[in-house]
Structure 1
Amino acid sequence: MLMLKKMFTRLRNDSKGIRKINKNTLAGLRYTKYYKRLPLNDKAVLLESQQGRSFNGNMYYLLRELITNPDYSEFDIYYVVNGQNAKNVKTHFYNKGYKNVTVVTIMSKHYYKLLASCKYLFTDTAFLSYFIKKEGQIYLNTWHGTPLKYLGKKSKSDSYAIGNVMKNFCFADYLLYPNKFTMEHIVEDYMLQNLSKAKIIFAGYPRNTAFLNTHTRDTVRKYYEMGNKQILAYLPTWRNNGSRYNSRIHYIYTAYYLLELDNLLTDKQIVYVNLHPIARDMIDYKMFRHIRKMPDDFETYEFLTATDCLITDYSSVMFDYALSNRKIILFTYDKEQYITDRGMYLDIDELPFPIVYNVCDLAKEINRPKEYDDEKFLKEFCCYDSLDVCKKICDTVIMGKSDLLETEEMQNNGKKNVIIYSGNLAKNGITTSLLNLGANLDMSERNYYITYTTSHIKRNLDNYKSVVDLFNYFPLMGKINLGPVKKLVYLLFLRRGFSASAIAKLLDTELRMEIRRMFGGAAFSHAIQFNGYEVRKILLFAKFDCDTTIFVHSDMREEIKTRNNQRKDVLKYAYGVYDNVAIVSSGIAHSVLSFNSNANVKVVENLIDYEKIEKKSLLPVTFDDNTVSTISLKKLNGILNGKSKVFVTVGRFSYEKGHKRLIDAFERVREKNGDVYLILIGGHGILYEEIKEYIIMKGYEDHVFLIRSMSNPYAVIKRCDYLVLSSFYEGFGLVLAEGDICGIPVISTDIDGPRGFLKEHGGHIVENSTQGIYRGMLDLLDGKVPVMNVDYKKYNADALSKFYKLF
């Protein structure tokens, strides 16, 4: 009866959560319903520009082709906009006479239905994270410009968060590029080789046809009665630095520059300004005499045909506007800062266009004729443009014609792909072992990709950067698509209301869909849940349609007892269904088998980057900017370089590391030998403050020191005399090897993980107690513990061989 009451309490509490979730993530829930129920409409095309924020650009020109070409008269054409733009877009289409197109508001019920049922999907960015391409849907992604600033993995601001764009590129059947330069950088920096199966199309951007249509310029100039005035357009790029406040500051500067320029223009000159949609209303144009907001009676590129000069900075519009053969001026007042913040594929100084850095020079350049030669530029970046490109694109994608445009298959090296879930890349032994693995893998054998949950990685970007220097990667974005009932059941599972085996059976289809949603249908031959934790990811990786491996880095029975960060039902299920259960030391095999006796256990030791450890151990002892310590750097170096004996231990500040009993043992050691010190180094852990207070309570703050967050602990270890592992349990105890590599004697408590390694290499094992640690520390002081001097080159070769045998 009590169990039933608890179940109903959980159900009531989670029902409240579901109502809240429905308001915030209704998109995924509704889309899922239509995704499962609705058949494909073979005569329907959905076009979406920048997730509805704009109706301009490539999608607009493809739309115009579809609604004016009789070949597509029987098709239903839908154009996606956001709620703010809907009325204006409908008015624009009405004024243009575009009758056979339906405007759809993004995130509406109608939109979810269409995204799930239209056979043809066109976009210039990426559909939102809940999107899953259906079997039979045909997806064209045109992107939205030749890149000048870094994208993808080279981006300096959001390289860790590119997962949704990657998965969209992987879902796409066609990727359109206006030149080889764009193709090479997008394919390379979104790591599409070997993942995407899309056909590459080389074709001029649909929007560029505006510059090739000689009648458009006359039409626009006549409409706005421009006469013989010099018409200029100013289109600065969006400063997306992650801060809306900084963006507002930038547009305050923009308004100031425009005021300066306004005073230098003549009555025969007009500058039309087009800012990013987010900033479009930040400037009041009533303060200017010669500067106006770009109107929306015409599509942006249609209006640009009427101008005599383009002023921009780092925007891709320069690559398109060059087709007009009119002058381009680059107003790059913040060039050095922008390049530092964003990075660029091209040296902007080598572009043919004049560059100015202040308003006075800008005004002078406006009054000069075009005096540069851009022929080479046009040949490299505008070589595929043609007036009939929209027809050719639609006929290729919709009609299936294969000989209209230059195409190319996506690069594929023929090697198998391996996906590895890393966890949140915290400063711990699991991240270290992943880095060591990456440093030793033969990348010529397979394509290895790291994956992680994007929202969890922000706190550990330093480790992220180290990992992605070694691996390609594929970030995970968004949440699992579930209907209301199954969402509730899933939440109950997370609250331990359902067992892992039950939920895995109930949500089998949804979990497999989730893999497709996350990775865009990319194929993998092996999926590795490397961190071995996180209920959701343990469950998910078990559902990959390929060989699977889960790693075990610790004694999970003890983890459940002491930290409660695992679940018996999840491990029982996982250890039974994963093809391999890879343990990092033979000593924890019985722990794994206690959860599931049928587990296919394989010993795969952690690799050790001994050369890096040796090299870093020789560097000076330094603190990082975020290092927290109970001892100053000067005093620490004084102790390390003195004659006193120094013990050190390294491990997160948590219960299982046995820090308090180590301090107790040290207290007894110091009673016999007062000239000793103890240093505790940790990356993170909830007990730092508690251990600090414990040291103060003992009155040992002058002899026991804490150091938290230190990127190079090896320099300290090297200068210490002894290393002690005082843990209650460990998966392996990597710090023992690190101490040995640094050339100092090490001891460990007699626990499962380290036991095998120490016995094999003649290490020193002590009783798993405070008394045992005390005696071991005395043995160290008495010179009874030699350095092991393990052959780590051979050790790594053996460990790597075992890793390869997983495949």
Structure 2
Amino acid sequence: MNLKSLKKVSKRKLAFFIKPIIDFFRVRDIRNRTLYAKYYEKYSVVDNYVLYESRDGQSMTDSPYAIFKYMLQNPKGKDYVHIWSLSNREYLKDMEEKYRQHTNVKFVLRNSRDYLKSLSKCKYLINNSTFQNIYTVKDEQVYINTWHGTPLKNMGYDMEGVLPTGPSNVVRNFLSTDYILSPNTFTTEIFNSAFKLENLYEGQILEDGYPRIDLTVNTTRDEVTATLKSENIDVGDKKIILYAPTWKGDTISKPRNDIEQIHDDISKVEAAVGGDYKVLVKVHPFLYKYAVNSPLLEGRLVSDTFETNELLAATDILITDYSSIFFDFLVTRRPILFYMWDYDDYKSNRGMYIETDHLPGPICKDVDSLIHSIEDIEGVQEEYKDNYQSFIDKFCYQEYGNVTETIINKVFNSAPANVSSNNKKEKILMYPGGLRNNGITGAAIGLLDNIDYSRYDVTLLVNYTNNQEILNNMLRVNPNVRFAFKIGRINQTIYENYCNYVTRNRGISSTFLERIFPWNMYKREYKRIVGKSKFDYIIDYSGYSMFWPNILLAGEAKKKMIFMHSDLYSDMNRKVNGKRPHFINLRGVFSLYKYFDELVSVSEATMEVNKERLKSYIGDTKISYVINSINPKKIKQLSQDDTELYYKDKQPVLVNARVNRQRRLEIENIPVPVEGEGYTNYINMGRLSPEKGQDQLIEAFAEVHKKYKHTRLYIVGEGPMRPVLERLIQTHQLEDSVFLTGHKSNPFYLMNKCDAFILSSHYEGQPLVLLESLTLGLHTIGTDIVANRYVLEDGKYGMLVENSVAGIAGGMLAVIEQDLPRPEFDAEKYNEAAMASFYEKLDK
């Protein structure tokens, strides 16, 4: 080894040792995750420790506070240590002073070391929203999610236009719980549907009501007014109007600042009815940071830490908009007014579960109508008494006043629920790959379109992302499927980091590497993502990643499978720009084969190739195959969908916008074949990668084009070979005849306009594009490789040509010069056989 190489190796080894340590001190998130992983393994769960958190630690409020308050005042709670997570140091100190006489009450600063220890040690965890994505449930822990209201506005996946990633941490938290509290059947049904809990959730939804509403029933007016006075709000003998609007805006992190409008509105209300009423404002926590720093609401703004349900006990009239606070207020039977000045806009952007015609009070769209309703409040009550009673009957029918006791008896005086769903569906957890634009993604989406969801419940394990390409493919996934997201970094100790690095790069290829492999780290990560969920089948559909199968193997199932989509030995050694991008990863994947129950290739031919070339890795593990499924109906529908079509000079074109090598936006207008124009049009689809052979395809087309000028070639896809292909096109002066279209979300419209499909690959697994071409009835040509021969059934459904420039050119010429029959391919019959082969893997 020369000096330069020695220095390079030394530098890499030094980085290996010091980077985890440097990251620990420099990056707070890494430090917290490292410490949490350490505490998780170090500390046992303490049976009488209870951790409370409300609204990300911003206050001691809501149902966690109601449970805490009851426990503290009741002999049943004396034997427990109550730990509150708070995010503000000053507020924490105030609470320590307030509860200093209670030796069994402690406070920890959120994200401190004591907080991370508490997450690891406390048997009971109570939260009204979500824990951060660092939290990983332990089997011995009992997690109670109290949630925070009966929903009026849409939530979870019911929200219009919500991305699959949107409710990810809520779903992750719910899957980790033993109990979710629900105030009524309506809310239970929304939990199951809006967060896709049905069939998967292993805990129990307790439909006994919200503990926080007990505070409204059991708190006196004098207690409320005394607390308000301590906040410099003097109510005197006046009745109380509480205005409690929800937050508005596009995102939680950036709520709209409506403080000036709130001030103007309540000033007009006070001017009209201030002689009899004191108007108070309780804004949503997301808006409070603006309100508290504004003098406009001074003397009227109730602090964010004031328990809302206790405040409701002294409220005479509630004014709200879309907040679920009014459901809690129903128990008082006092009047509710809905001030929805932006109703039309809000409903169109967010959506609501309940029609406004049925609300238990009038909708006021301007201040004048709001004032009029207050002045005629007795008439309003009379007019809406039937609606009001129907809401109580449907949403507030629990025996409030002692709901907290009922919940505590169920949660603290019995074993964790862990009640499996009665649904008879078998549950599949599947990693579909990175969901980039490639063949595996297409195959996965096709399979998910065809699964019988009356028999199977499917969860996709994926990485949380903001990448638009991946999000677009998530949106293509069948809506019956739920996503389970890996959010944030993995929790790992520094030692686990070292061990993971070594085994990731070398695979588990020896007894020593198996011994140091961080099994516990991956078991924790599995629990962090799917909580206490249980699955019947676990499938690594990708088969290319070293990371994801380790997570999948950490789960328990009656069968674990990993797919083999191609000649993987060739893929491992394939070079792109002089490097082997899959070598380390696939070598690691191969070393994991022995831990799976079955290795599944995507065709019989591919299975035989892998069985022979990877026999030293496969060992005694069962190897079999299924055939890829397609969606014939969808393919045919999309082939008629011209929504991506534009016209330039009255000619149909596809617009391809991309950033070129000079980082400039380049717009291409690609002509679309038109019937009767006299062109023979060829199309190829696939990743622009060496194994796809598109370079020799262009060389072959150049030969054909010399003889027949009215020919065109479309290559649909994107990848690292684009620069090479562009140079070839320029070399042969084919800029007006060969078109690199880039990736197309719907390639089937263009494909259907062409005469022949050509697959020029050097090797494949089971090429879906051939099946898609046959479904559309195109002349179908493939290089004579094992996978193409298998799909085309030795030429029954298309033409097999020599894997060379001359062979491909000969096939292209045959389309022009010979009267070739169109393939008679029964796509529906094929697909039935494909799905039967998949179900066979699950049933055996």
User: Normalising by the residue count of structure 2, what TM-score does the alignment of the two structures yield?
Assistant: 0.87
For residues 406-805 of structure 1, the aligned pairs below 5 Å read 411-455=421-465, 459-494=469-504, 505=515, 506-546=517-557, 547-560=559-572, 561-563=574-576, 564-566=581-583, 567-593=585-611, 594-595=613-614, 596-598=617-619, 599-620=621-642, 622-623=644-645, 627-628=656-657, 636-637=671-672, 639=674, 642-682=677-717, 684-688=718-722, 691-692=725-726, 694-760=728-794, 761-783=796-818, 785-805=820-840
Does 1:349 pair with 2:349? no
**Structure 1 residue 495 displacement after superposition:** 5.1
- 1:151 to 1:84, Cα distance in 2 relative to 1, 3 A: farther
1:543-581 per-residue CA deviation (whole Å, 9 max, x = no partner) reads 333211111222223333135235342132133332221
- Aligned to 1:740, the other structure's residue is in SS state helix
In 1, the alpha carbon distance for the partners of 2:56 and 2:510 equals: 37
| More off after superposition, 330-339 vs 516-525 | 330-339
1:171 to 167, 176, 181: 176
1:326-345 map, 5 Å:
326-345=334-353
Q: Distance in 1 between matches of 2:643 and 2:81?
A: 68
Greater CA deviation, 34-43 or 215-224?
215-224
SS of match in other structure, 2:841: coil
In structure 2, C-alpha distance between the alignment counterparts of 1:176 and 1:631, rounded to whole Å = 54
Is 2:259 aligned against 1:225? Answer: no
Structure 1 residues 517-526 or 263-272, which shifts more? 263-272
Judging changes above 3 Å, is the alpha-carbon distance between structure 1 residues 357 and 497 closer, same or farther for their aligned structure 2 residues?
same
* 2: CA distance, partners of 1:514 / 1:687: 36
Residues of 2 paired with 1:720 and 1:513: CA distance? Answer: 51
The answer to which of 662-671 and 448-457 deviates more is 448-457
The change in CA–CA distance for 1:713 and 1:298 in structure 2 (over 3 A counts) is closer
**Contact kept? 1:323, 1:382, Cα under 8 Å:** yes
Aligned partner of residue 461 in structure 1, secondary structure: helix
Q: 1:73 to 1:619 in 2, by over 3 A?
A: closer
Aligned to 2:649: none
Tell me how large the CA RMSD over aligned residues is.
3.1
- Give the one of 376, 379, 397 matched to 1:383: 397
Q: Distance in 2 between matches of 1:793 and 1:301?
A: 59
1:576 and 1:39 map into 2 onto residues whose CA distance is 32
Contact 1:161/1:475, CA 8 A, preserved across alignment: no
3-state SS of the aligned residue for 2:788?
helix
Deviation at 1:493, TM superposition (A): 4.1
Contact 1:231–1:270, Cα closer than 8 Å, also in 2: yes
- Out of 304, 317, 320, the residue aligned to residue 312 of structure 1 is 320
- 1:319 is displaced (CA, Å) by 0.7
From the superposition, tell whether residues 101 and 441 of structure 1 become closer, same or farther in structure 2 (CA, over 3 Å): same
Of all paired residues, the percent bearing the same amino acid is: 29
The aligned residue for residue 408 of structure 2 is 394
Structure 2 residue runs without a partner (length 5+): 647-653, 659-665
- Find the aligned partners of 1:180 and 1:473 in 2 and give their Cα distance: 25
Mean Cα displacement is larger for which, 298-307 or 713-722? 298-307
Check whether the contact 2:504–2:588 (CA below 8 A) recurs between aligned residues.
no
Q: How many angstroms does 1:143 deviate by?
A: 1.1
Distance (whole Å) between structure 2 residues aligned to residue 632 and residue 202 of structure 1: 58
Shift of 1:671: 0.8
**Aligned equivalent of 1:241, options 247, 250, 259:** 250
Shift of 1:503: 5.2
Moved more, 8-17 or 384-393: 8-17
Question: In terms of mean alpha carbon deviation, does 565-574 or 25-34 score higher?
Answer: 565-574
Q: Read off the aligned partner of 2:552 and give its amino acid letter.
A: F
Question: Equivalents in 2 of 1:762, 1:618: separation in Å?
Answer: 23
Instruction: Quickly say closer, same or farther: Cα 1:386–1:621, change in 2 above 3 A.
Output: closer
Secondary structure of 2:59's aligned partner: coil
How far apart, CA to CA, are the structure 2 residues paired with 1:307 and 1:316?
16
SS, match of residue 293 in structure 1: coil
Q: CA separation in 2, counterparts of 1:687 and 1:311? A: 63
In the aligned structure 2, how far is the partner of 1:157 from the partner of 1:189? Answer: 11
Matches within 5 A, 1:101-180: 101-155=105-159, 156-180=161-185
SS of aligned partner of 1:572 = helix
Q: Which amino acid aligns with 1:420?
A: M
2:302 is matched with which residue? 294
Equivalent in the alignment of 1:56:
61
1:90 aligns with 2:95: yes
Q: Deviations over 1:576-600 (max 9, x none)?
A: 3322211112332354232324253
Partner of 1:42: helix, strand, or coil? strand
Residues 773, 780 of structure 2: 8 Å contact kept: yes
Retained in 2: the 8 A contact 1:233–1:307? yes
CA 1:159/1:354 → structure 2, altered by over 3 Å: closer, same or farther?
A: farther
Matched, 1:26 2:28: no
Contact 1:45 1:78 in 2 (8 A): yes
Mapped contact 1:562–1:656 kept (Cα < 8 A):
no
Quote the Cα distance in structure 2 between the aligned partners of 1:243 and 1:388.
Answer: 33
Provide the C-alpha distance between the structure 2 equivalents of 1:558 and 1:331, rounded to a whole number of angstroms. 67
For the 8 Å contact 1:621–1:637, the answer to whether it is kept is no
Superposed, 1:173-188 pairs within 5 Å as 173-188=178-193
Give 3-state SS (helix, strand or coil) of 1:712's partner. coil
Q: Aligned equivalents of 2:643 and 2:167: distance in 1? A: 36
Alignment CA distance shift 1:243-1:472 (3 Å): closer
Checking the alignment, whether the CA contact within 8 Å between 2:429 and 2:460 is kept in structure 1 is yes
Inter-CA distance 74–542: structure 2 relative to 1 (3 Å threshold): closer
Amino acid at match of 1:310: L
Instruction: Tell me what 1:193 maps to.
Output: 198
Give the counterpart of 2:14 among 2, 12, 29: 12
CA distance in 2, matches of 1:720, 1:500: 53
Aligned equivalents of 2:630, 2:469: Cα separation in 1:
25
Distance in structure 2 (CA, Å) of the matches to 1:469 and 1:292: 46
How far off its partner does 1:499 sit? Answer: 5.7
In 2, the alpha carbon distance for the partners of 1:265 and 1:781 equals 85
- Comparing 532-541 with 491-500, greater Cα deviation is found at 491-500
Q: Aligned to 2:486, what secondary structure does the other structure show?
A: coil
TM-score by length of 1: 0.91
Question: Cα deviation per residue 1:143-187 (whole Å; 9 max; x = unaligned)?
Answer: 111112223332343543434333332332222211111111102
Measured after TM superposition, the shift of residue 767 of structure 1 is: 1.4
Measure, in 1, the Cα distance between the counterparts of 2:468 and 2:97: 42
Q: Measured at CA, do residues 764 and 381 of structure 1 come closer, stay the same or move farther in structure 2, by a change above 3 Å?
A: same
C-alpha contact 2:243 2:320 (8 A) present in aligned 1: yes
Per-residue Cα deviation, 1:280-334 (whole angstroms, up to 9, x for no partner): 1223675537873213674232223223222222111111122222222222233
* Stretches of structure 1 lacking an aligned partner (at least 5 in a row): none
Structure 2 counterpart of 1:604, one-letter code: V
Quick check: 1:654–1:687 contact (8 Å CA) kept in 2?
yes
Counterpart amino acid of 2:453?
A: M
Amino acid at match of 2:549: I
Conserved 8 A contact 1:449-1:474:
yes
